[in-house]
Amino acid sequence: MAFTIKVNNKSHRVDVDGDTPLLWVLRDVLGMTGTKFGCGMALCGACTVHVDGAAVRSCVTPIDSIGTSKITTIEAIGTTAAGAKIQKAWLDREVVQCGYCQSGQIMSASALLARNPHPTDSDIDDAMSGNICRCGTYVRIREAIKHAAQSI
Ligand code: FES
Ligand code: FES
């Protein structure tokens, strides 16, 4: 079945089954491999993208649920105001270790900052609790989000 989806401000026509997860479409059909596969069950956050600005787990989001919503991935998050601040803060605070979880971390953090420019510790915990990091970069992630918030 054919679907037209808008990803990073560009329309793409894809021919896949309606229950195909958005993550599969991004990676295998469109070749956008910045978004990562971790668990495939909405448990780790590695696959996080934005749908109309909200952080969603693309591994459990069927393509036929997208409709005309705007999808943003890690490839374009730096073009948004909050995303650019988060990416700079990630570099300033040297957050990344192995890097595998970090696309998802940045997408969740960017969505948080876009809707709440000055998050409390509790707001950060709520927004980031579903993003798992096997390398344990959580302390630096929190510092980087606060650093980004100070620059707003
Ligand atoms: S791969 Fe989607 S939440 Fe883990
Ligand atoms: S940086 Fe390695 S899993 Fe998070």
Model pLDDT for residues 58-78, shown as the tens digit of each residue: 999 999 999 999 999 999 999
Looking at the CA of 55, which ligand is closest?
A: 1
Nearest to 32 by CA among 3, 7, 1, 4: 7
CA of 17 to the centre of ligand 2 (A): 32
pTM of the model: 0.97
d(C-alpha 98, C-alpha 76), whole Å:
21
Span from the CA of 91 to the centroid of ligand 2 (angstroms): 15
Q: Per residue in 46-60, pLDDT tens?
A: 999 999 999 999 999
Q: Is the CB of 137 under 6 A from ligand 2?
A: yes
Ligand in nearest proximity to the CA of 130: 1
Catalogue the long-range contacts made by 92-96 (C-beta closer than 8 Å, 24 or more residues apart): 92/144, 92/147, 93/140, 93/143, 93/144, 93/147, 94/140, 95/137, 95/140, 95/141, 95/144, 96/137
